[in-house]
Amino acid sequence: MRVAVIGAGLAGAAAARSLMAAGASVTVFDKGRGPGGRLSTRRAETPLGEMCFDHGAQYVTATSSSFSAFLSAAGDAGVAAPWLARLVSIDRAGNVDALRGEARWVGLPGMSALVKYALNGVEVRQTRRAKRLTGAPGSWTIRFEDGSTEGPFERIALTLPPEQLVDLLARSDGDFARVISGARQVEIAPCWTVMAATEPGFDPGFDGAKLLGGAVRWMALTAARPGGAPGGVVLQASPDWSQAFLEHDAEAVARILCEEVFVRFGMPQPVWSNAHRWRYAMVTTPAGSAADISDSRTVGCGGDWRLGGRAECAWDSGEALGAALLG
Ligand SMILES: Cc1cc2nc3c(=O)[nH]c(=O)nc-3n(C[C@H](O)[C@H](O)[C@H](O)COP(=O)(O)OP(=O)(O)OC[C@H]3O[C@@H](n4cnc5c(N)ncnc54)[C@H](O)[C@@H]3O)c2cc1C
């Protein structure tokens, strides 16, 4: 069976693996330059030299046996490691509490390595933005933004964020009204993220902190990550602040968020900064089931947004999507 997976994030990788394990011939397409989706690692030239920032998910956690087994295998392969960091929460008044919880894992050398590892042996084609599906159930052609086409495919697995999924299905042949209506119920909050470089050596007394009450919700030092460069800082704004400043200029966003945190912790002023807007970052209202499939049972959708706002949700959904398309 020829199957196309659209979306090379963690959900797409999990779907591709389960489909391939069942004997399908799978090709993955993604609009980005490399696999990873929101498990993303950015390389940047800064006055301190080249630095890498994990500017999407900071770490992943696992409760399901499947994702735990995957992380354990990735650890054995040297592309994942437990993140043994000093993590705290700090409230407006400055009260500090240790963040407890399950084991946290990071990708090596960056978070996107987890998805690359999951896609090992899978044919992946990057910089292909899918615009619509044409054809009929069991014989689908994908039409891309650049005018090119691929197909026919017997099955299509869509692992795009819901807005992009709705956009694609609304232009496609076939009746996807029910799937579209389900995806429209989902809510995802944006997240402004700032990557900054500052003179190395400063220690605020933690490696990562959940900050309560201000514009910045999360702050992490890259030096505390396995193999991480000294001097890098990642800041993530709260969902409310990100929504309110969604259309703001990126440079202004970087300035505002850096000022709040660098002044508060008495850190040396950043020598470089860059802001990235995740328009669809954190799922706040998930669909509630692991995957959905069209009435013809030939086109299905999955992604973290089916189950919740964590990488493990993407993994579990991708596996369920693969199974649904095979069933
Ligand atoms: C700032 C931030 C912090 C986070 N922190 C954490 C955390 O600490 N822990 C945690 O567990 N999770 C965290 N998450 C959530 C986690 O990153 C996601 O749950 C997970 O990566 C989602 O995977 P996915 O495959 O469902 O979607 P994505 O990773 O979004 O993958 C979707 C893919 O579809 C591609 N695509 C979209 N449209 C098209 C198109 N038309 N054609 C082709 N390709 C297309 C995109 O390029 C992308 O690669 C965070 C997310 C963000 C943004």
35-89 pLDDT, tens digit each: 999 999 999 999 999 999 999 999 999 998 999 999 999 999 999 999 999 999 9
Percent of the chain having pLDDT more than 90? 94
Does the C-beta of 37 come closer than 6 Å to ligand 1?
yes
Q: 180 pLDDT exceeds 90?
A: yes
On the question of a cis peptide bond just before residue 109, with omega within 30 degrees of 0, the verdict is yes
303: left (phi over 0), alpha (psi -120 to 50) or beta: left
Domain 2-326 has CATH 3.50.50.60: yes
Name the pLDDT band for 261 (thresholds 50, 70, 90): very high
| 287 contacts 188 by C-beta, under 8 angstroms | no
pTM to 2 decimal places: 0.97
105: left (phi over 0), alpha (psi -120 to 50) or beta: beta
CA–CA distance, 317 with 283 (Å, rounded to integer): 14
**What tokens does 308 get?**
């919740």
What is the 41 CA–ligand 1 centroid distance (Å)? 12
Name the pLDDT band for 327 (thresholds 50, 70, 90): confident
List CB contacts of 76: < 8 A, sequence separation 6 or more.
none
pLDDT of residue 8: 98
DSSP letter for each residue of 79-112? SEEE----EEEE-TT--EEE---S--EEESSSTH
Q: Where along the chain do its domains lie? A: 2-326
Phi/psi for 193 (5° steps) reads: -120, 135
**Interval 98-142: pLDDT, tens:** 998 789 999 999 999 999 999 999 999 999 999 999 999 999 999
Q: Which atom of ligand 1 is nearest to the CA of 167?
A: 41
Give CB contacts under 8 A, 24+ apart, made by 136-139: 136/173, 136/174, 137/174, 137/294, 137/296, 137/297, 137/298, 137/299, 138/296, 138/298
For ligand 1, pick from 38, 106, 133 the residue to mutate: most ligand atoms within 8 Å of CB.
38
Does the C-beta of 7 come closer than 6 Å to ligand 1?
yes
Helix (H) / strand (E) element for 317: namely helix 311-326
Q: Give me the residues paired with residue 299 across strands.
A: 156
Alpha helices per DSSP H over 36-84 = 65-76
**What tokens does 160 get?**
């795009």
What is the 69 CA–ligand 1 centroid distance (Å)? 21
Work out the average pLDDT over 157-181. Answer: 97
CA–CA distance, 115 with 314 (Å, rounded to integer): 11
List CB contacts of 22: < 8 A, sequence separation 6 or more.
322, 326
Does the C-beta of 105 come closer than 6 Å to ligand 1?
no
pLDDT of residue 208: 96
What is the 205 CA–ligand 1 centroid distance (Å)? 30
